[in-house]
């Protein structure tokens, strides 16, 4: 969740590894591992799922790069995930433009991706975004679930020693590594505009928030309720 930039490594139409960037915009990112829990589609789309981890359980990520190295069985490694399977509900931008250095947190994910689903769809039909790189589809996803099957181990390089030890001790149970692009707070319109501007600057896009009317509502509290910006996928 939050304004994130997804860059899959694609060779011969196949997704190999994945990089995720959080633009430098003042957001605090956090991560937590929930052992033995695989969230359903309904839970990921629910603003307040009962099993969602408390925000206090998230370990805050320092502003540097990380690597999530997923170890899998040979059978899982042999399977392929095609780029065309990335959901069309996402705001996709053609890759090729130079990425700027203006990121806060960078996450590399190495492993054989089994499934990619997108959730918490933002309705873009109101003309709230302008520019040649503004969304042209009816929706843009705010939350993503990346599924890796046949996992035998995971190493979170760059995370704190305590977080790595907890992951090592519980990974055998399976579960969900939840990464949140922003810790909850009520965003101002200035902050929302800055979030879109930072994402556009990071990816070299012509994209702007056109809304000039702030919206006061409990669903505007960021977090699992609704983040202040959507994500972009470069393909």
Res. 65 pLDDT band, cuts 50 70 90: very high
DSSP code for 82: B
Helix, strand, or coil (residue 66): strand
Q: For residue 43, what pLDDT is reported?
A: 93
149 neighbors 111 (Cβ within 8 angstroms): no
Q: For residue 120, what pLDDT is reported?
A: 87
The token pair at 101 is: 């250095």
The token pair at 157 is: 């390089």
pLDDT digits (tens, 9 = 90+) for 4-19: 999 999 999 999 999 9
Burial (CB count <10 Å: 0-12, 13-18, 19+), residue 4: buried
From 153, 162, 130, select the one nearest 60 (Cα to Cα).
162
Residues in the chain: 235
CA distance 233 to 223: 20
- Which of 24-28, 52-56, 60-64, 117-121 reaches the highest mean pLDDT? 117-121
Predicted TM-score (pTM) of this structure: 0.82
Helix, strand, or coil (residue 28): coil
- No. of H helices and E strands in the chain? 4, 14
Is 111 a residue whose pLDDT tops 60? yes
Calculate the alpha carbon distances from 83 to 13, 114, 143, 233 in Å: 6, 12, 18, 11
> Dihedral of CA 214/220/222/226: which sign?
negative
Q: For residue 218, what pLDDT is reported?
A: 46
Mean pLDDT, the chain, whole residue set: 87
Is 221 a residue whose pLDDT tops 50? no
Is 217 a residue whose pLDDT tops 90? no
85 neighbors 114 (Cβ within 8 angstroms): no
pLDDT digits (tens, 9 = 90+) for 133-171: 988 888 888 889 999 999 999 999 999 888 999 999 999
Q: For residue 149, what pLDDT is reported?
A: 96
Q: For residue 225, what pLDDT is reported?
A: 52
Q: For residue 56, what pLDDT is reported?
A: 81
Q: Where are the beta strands (DSSP E) in the chain?
A: 5-11, 14-23, 30-35, 59-60, 65-72, 91-93, 103-110, 115-123, 129-130, 139-147, 151-157, 175-180, 208-209, 232-234
């Amino acid at each position: 969740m939050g304004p994130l930039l997804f860059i899959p490594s694609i060779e011969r139409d196949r997704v190999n590894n994945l990089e995720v960037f959080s633009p430098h915009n003042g957001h605090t990112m956090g991560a937590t591992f929930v052992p033995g829990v695989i969230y359903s589609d309904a839970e990921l789309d629910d603003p307040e799922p009962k099993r969602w981890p408390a925000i206090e359980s998230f370990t805050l990520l320092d502003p540097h790069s990380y690597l999530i190295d997923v170890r899998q069985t040979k059978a899982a490694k042999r399977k392929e995930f095609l780029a065309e399977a990335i959901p069309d509900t996402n705001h996709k931008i053609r890759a090729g433009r130079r990425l700027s250095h203006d990121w806060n947190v960078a996450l590399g994910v190495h492993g054989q991706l089994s499934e990619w689903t997108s959730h918490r769809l933002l309705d873009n039909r109101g003309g709230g975004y302008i520019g040649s790189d503004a969304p042209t589809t009816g929706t843009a996803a705010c939350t993503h679930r990346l599924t890796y099957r046949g996992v035998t181990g995971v190493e979170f390089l760059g995370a704190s020693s305590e977080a790595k030890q907890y992951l090592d001790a519980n990974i055998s149970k399976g579960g969900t590594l939840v990464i949140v692009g922003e810790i909850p707070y009520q965003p101002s319109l200035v902050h929302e505009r800055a979030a879109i501007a930072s994402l556009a600057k990071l990816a070299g896009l012509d994209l702007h928030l056109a809304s000039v009317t702030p919206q006061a509502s409990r669903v505007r509290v960021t977090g699992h309720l609704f983040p202040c910006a959507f994500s972009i996928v470069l393909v």
